[in-house]
């Protein structure tokens, strides 16, 4: 069976390893990104480079994006010079794997449908570590037949791929995920702040709490980084803040009270003011330490 040619746009912290997994699974791969090094790395592994999103889209049966924000997603897919959707073939498949507003996902799906193209919103969770290991959880909204077509490709990048309904529902599921991520990070940070103040060893605290009712992915992975003083990003503060801004807009629109999420958003806002927004989300404990007077 001949595998479809896949195009991947956006080779950042997440996109580069995700694209690599597609290539290593045997799919012919075209890539495009703003940054040169990840393009060169993937070309060395056998990918081909496309000069623009349109040039990539014209050659591919499946086009995937992993981009940082709504404005970039809309420009690359639809409104920018050399946008991807207008260049895609009828019957092709478009997949956006970043986190955007559900309304944008629905708008892009409508624009794709008018051109005879299927569009899926398929955001991911699992951070850089999940992208590197190919163990992401992928939440997919859109046409169910398009989901079945996309599934073998998505399975190269994730260990759990879930169809969650109509266009925009992938993004809604991701926003629900981000509530748990944000408030969970606060719980981990407060627990370790208390342990630190009490004079407990933080590595021992993380090991102990991870094995009981307080155990979580955040405690085991990000708690370990906090204990080691490592605030390098698996997922950046600025990207979580972008997601939380989308989330709070949705919450206001639906009248959903998200008190804990709003508090975390405010705590992270200090990093944006100090130029530290590229730290990992585990840096939340630094905000709490500063409230303590450090």
H/E run at residue 21: helix 15-24
Structure token digits, residue 149:
């077509």
Sequence-distant (≥ 6) Cβ neighbours of residue 115 within 8 angstroms: 85, 86, 88, 90
- DSSP string over 28-70: -EEEE-S-HHHHHHHHHTT-EE-SSHHHHHTT-SEEEE--SSH
Query: 159, 160, 174, 242: which is the annotated catalytic residue?
Result: 174
Sequence-distant (≥ 6) Cβ neighbours of residue 287 within 8 angstroms: 267, 268, 270, 271
Q: Is 159 marked active-site?
A: no
Residues 96/108, Cβ–Cβ less than 8 Å = yes
How far apart, in whole angstroms, are the C-alpha atoms of residue 238 and residue 279? 8
What number of other Cβ atoms are within 10 A of residue 4's Cβ? 15
For residue 157, which of 1, 43, 14, 56 has the smallest C-alpha distance? 14
Helix (DSSP H) and strand (DSSP E) numbers for the chain: 14, 9
Residues 191/205, Cβ–Cβ less than 8 Å = yes
For residue 106, which of 147, 61, 141 has the smallest C-alpha distance? 141
How far apart, in whole angstroms, are the C-alpha atoms of residue 279 and residue 272? 10
- Cβ-based burial of 116 (10 A; exposed 0-12, middle 13-18, buried ≥19): exposed
Enzyme catalytic residues: 174
């Amino acid at each position: 069976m001949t595998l479809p040619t896949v195009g991947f746009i956006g080779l950042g912290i997440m996109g580069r390893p995700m694209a690599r997994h597609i290539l290593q699974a045997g799919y012919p791969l075209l890539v495009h990104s703003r940054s040169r090094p990840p393009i060169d790395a993937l070309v060395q592994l056998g990918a081909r480079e496309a000069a623009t999103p349109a040039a990539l889209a014209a050659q591919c049966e499946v086009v995937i994006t992993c981009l940082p924000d709504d404005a970039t997603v809309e420009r690359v897919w639809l409104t920018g010079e050399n946008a991807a959707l207008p260049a895609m073939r009828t019957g092709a498949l478009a997949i956006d794997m970043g986190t955007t507003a559900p309304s944008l996902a629905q708008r892009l799906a409508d624009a794709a449908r008018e051109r005879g193209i299927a569009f899926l919103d398929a955001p991911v969770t699992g951070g850089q570590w999940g992208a590197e290991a190919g163990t992401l959880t992928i939440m997919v909204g859109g046409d169910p037949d398009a989901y079945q077509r996309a599934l073998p490709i998505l399975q190269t990048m994730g260990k759990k791929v879930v169809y969650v309904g109509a266009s925009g529902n992938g993004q809604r599921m991701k926003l629900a995920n981000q509530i748990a991520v944000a408030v969970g990070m606060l719980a981990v940070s407060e627990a370790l702040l208390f342990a630190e103040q009490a004079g407990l060893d933080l590595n021992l605290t993380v090991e102990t709490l991870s094995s009981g009712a307080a155990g979580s992915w955040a405690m085991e992975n990000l708690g370990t980084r906090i204990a080691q003083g490592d605030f390098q990003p698996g997922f950046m503060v600025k990207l979580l803040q972008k997601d939380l801004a989308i989330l709070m807009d949705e919450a206001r629109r639906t009248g959903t009270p998200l008190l804990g999420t709003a508090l975390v958003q405010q705590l992270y806002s200090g990093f944006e003011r100090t130029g530290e927004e590229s730290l990992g989300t585990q840096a939340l404990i630094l905000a709490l330490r500063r409230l303590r007077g450090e």
